Amino acid sequence: MRIIDQAEMRRQQQYSEQVSNCLTAFRAETGFSRRFWTQTFGCQLNENDGEKIAGQLTEMGYLPAEEIREADIIVLNTCSVREHADDRLFGHLGHMKKLKKDKPDLLIIVCGCMMKQPEHVTRIEQHYRYVDIVFGPQDIHRLPELLYHRLTEEKKQYLVGDEDTLAEGLPVRRVRHYRALCSIMFGCNNFCTYCIVPYTRGRERSRTPQNILDELRQLKESGYREVMLLGQNVNSYGRDRQADQDGDFSRIQDFADLLEHAADIGFYRVRFMTSHPKDISTKLLQVIARHSNIERHLHLPLQSGSNRVLRLMNRQYTRGQYLVIVRQARQLIPDLAVTTDLIVGFPGETEEDFADTLDLMRQVRFTNAFTFLYSKRSGTPAADMPDQVEGQVMHRRFNELVDLQNEHALQSNQQWLGQVVDVLVEGASRKEEQIFSGRTSQNHLVNFTIEPAKLPGRFLRADGLIDGAALEGSIARIRISESKTFSLGGALEGWQA
């Protein structure tokens, strides 16, 4: 791992100022400001990276574009976790060609996980020659330098270095003003045999507790209600830096400690993901149980219910161990919602293996599950495994699994009928219909209606309708009167600004 030192950050800062000067000169000459548009694919860690890219562009003096056509810089922050994600990038890039034709000085930047795979970079070099800048997730802090060179040298800038870096202090332009994402670590050491992430994101690097907690305190001060701590496997947080004596590692040794400190800062709610079952500790569950502002939700990817497949996947737990964790978690935290990720059609998965997955699902009863068709990722061990499952079989199993999960989700949601829950309001769910939405501590989506009389006048627009955007980030008390497979429905009972 290379911690990006202050000298390097200052160097980038100088590039940033030089780009800023270019923009000022352009504005003086033309009267126009340059604008950017970013689009991020994939997980929340990537979303947080996208926010850092937008943060840097803003610091350099670019303004956000209202729509893509208005942009002078387009950033596509890619994901490579499944084949579908790759396809989407090339679809988007196809459309860019016309935009670039209409506006020759438009800059196109492609970054994110796909750019750590040489075959994609080569494809871009050969077939999408209008892409100006390419870099991987480990090089986000070098955006000012790349941009400066591209603007002043008329030369494409492709950077696909293979160092695992850790950069602190990048500016962040957050997507929301009430919920903040906070990446606490980067990379992954687990090498699940189907997964590309360890290759695109490199080895695990934990930020220091000091840096994380400083960021969280600032977020609290600027009014954030909710924070989400992110890592590919938050439960191994700190393990890579146990020998470090600085940065508070001697006081805060693992994720349970960090989560407890985060909760003590006083956010309305602290969320976290993802937890790998092999690294869950009783200590972590106890911390959650002790702090009512930590979400009552554990996302615990199972992937498969078959011990044989779990072994082939290199997941390092058995179905028995998984069940023990879920039972213990529910015992310690009675109102806990357990959600998961499942993969159907891993190479060699037999009908019996698949039946084991359905059986385990019946035993656990997940509140919600993200279900995926296995997608072959070249370079991963599973891509070369024998007995790749045929498409038709895979789809049949997938449908069966989704049907069962939907049954469980509906039953789980029915338990909430008649209850009163608190949600963090995310705004209007459908613009003109006056239906609003928010999420509970269990991460349930709740759609609700409001009698205007129950709100102070400042939340009403001139036409008497409620301004959904003004409600974002408030806490609403909702009586649940409807339960569907993917959401709950109800009406506002009480409200807190």
Min separation Cβ 398 and ligand SF4, Å? 18
Which of 25, 26, 18, 55 has the alpha carbon at shortest distance from 146?
Answer: 18
Closest distance of CB 216 from ligand F3S, Å = 22
What amino acid occupies position 426?
E
230-to-47, 209, 275, 299 alpha-carbon distances in Å: 11, 13, 10, 12
Strand segments (E) across 174-258: 179-183, 185-186, 205-206, 226-230
Q: Which of 397, 166, 441 is closest to 288 using CA atoms?
A: 441
Per-residue x/- mask for ligand SAH, residues 160 to 199, rule CB under 6 A?
----------------------------------xx-x--
CB of 405 to ligand F3S, least distance (A): 21
Interface residue list for ligand SF4 (CB under 6 A): 188, 190-192, 195, 197-198, 232-233, 276
Which of ligand SAH, ligand F3S, ligand SF4, none interacts with 191 (beta carbon under 5 to 8 A by kind)? ligand SF4
Least distance CB 2 / ligand SF4 (angstroms)? 21
- Does 79 bind ligand SAH (CB under 6 A)? Our answer is no
β 179-183/165-166 pair status: unpaired
Choose the one of ligand SF4, ligand SAH, ligand F3S, none that binds residue 377, judging by a C-beta under 5 to 8 angstroms depending on kind: ligand SAH
Residue 397 interacts with ligand SAH (CB under 6 A): yes or no: no
> CB-based contacts of 392: which residues, under 8 Å, 6+ apart?
none
Residue 175, classified by CB atoms within 10 Å of its CB into exposed (0-12), middle (13-18) or buried (19+), is middle
Residue matched to tokens 């309708």: 465
Site string for ligand SAH, 200-239 (x = CB under 6 A): --------------------------------xx------
Q: What DSSP state is assigned to residue 190? A: -
Among residues 198 and 348, whose Cβ is nearest to ligand SF4?
A: 198
Query: Which pair of structure tokens corresponds to residue 59?
Result: 């610091």
Size of site (CB under 6 A) for ligand SAH: 17
| Rounded Cα distance, 20 and 305, in Å | 54
* 198 interface partner picked from ligand SAH, ligand SF4, ligand F3S, none, CB below 5 to 8 A per type: ligand SF4
Instruction: Compare residues 207 and 276 and give the one whose CB is closer to ligand SAH.
Output: 276
Nearer to ligand SF4, 233 or 375 (CB): 233
In the window 281-320, what residues touch ligand SAH (CB under 6 A)? Answer: 301, 303
Closer CB to ligand F3S, 88 or 156, in the complex: 88
User: How far is the C-alpha of 338 from the C-alpha of 21, rounded, in Å?
Assistant: 51
Which of the listed partners (ligand SF4, ligand SAH, ligand F3S, none) does 200 bind, with a CB threshold of 5 to 8 Å by partner kind?
ligand F3S
Nearer to ligand SAH (CB atom), residue 44 or residue 211: 44
- The amino acid occupying position 142 is R
Q: How far apart are CA 182 and CA 231, in angstroms?
A: 9
Helices and strands in the chain, H and E counts: 14, 21
Nearer Cβ to ligand SF4, position 271 or 276? 276
Taking the complex as a whole, the smallest distance from the CB of residue 299 to ligand SAH amounts, in Å, to 8
SS (H, E, C) 219-237: HHHCCCCEEEEECCCHHHC
Give the nearer residue to ligand SF4 in terms of CB position, either 191 or 486.
191
- For residue 189, give Cα distances in angstroms to 202, 236, 453: 8, 9, 54
Q: Which of 34, 82, 241, 444 binds ligand SAH (CB under 6 A)?
A: 82
Binding site residues, ligand SAH, CB under 6 A: 81-82, 194-195, 197, 232-233, 274, 276, 301, 303, 341, 343, 372, 374-375, 377
